């Protein structure tokens, strides 16, 4: 397991998060918002870098991210993806 995932699981011992498998190094933290359950937040740029490490071009990684990752809503616990500036 990744250090970031372990920290979050320690901070929220009684909560079940949905993680994006294979992208623990891109975890930024937990989003909390009134009226919503806490969800995991990922760094979009870091996910694209991870995809490129798996032999994708930048364009292929961005397309894969848009279609297969951010395009996959799996309920209220679906993670958020942040584009940092």
Low-confidence stretches of the chain (pLDDT < 70) are 1
Q: How far is CA 62 from CA 45, 46, 84, in A?
A: 9, 11, 15
Contact assessment for residue 37 and residue 76, using Cβ atoms and an 8 Å cutoff: yes
| pLDDT for 1 | 55
- At residue 78, the 3 state secondary structure works out as coil
Residue-level pLDDT at 25: 95
pLDDT at 2 (0 to 100) = 74
């Amino acid at each position: 397991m990744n250090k970031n995932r372990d920290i979050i699981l320690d901070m929220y011992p009684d909560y079940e998060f949905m993680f994006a498998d294979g992208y623990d190094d891109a975890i930024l933290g937990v989003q909390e918002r009134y009226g919503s359950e806490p969800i995991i937040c990922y760094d979009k740029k870091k996910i694209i870098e991870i995809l490129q490490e798996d032999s994708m071009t930048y364009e292929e990684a961005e397309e894969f991210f848009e279609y297969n990752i951010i395009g996959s809503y799996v309920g209220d616990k679906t993670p958020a993806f942040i584009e940092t500036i």
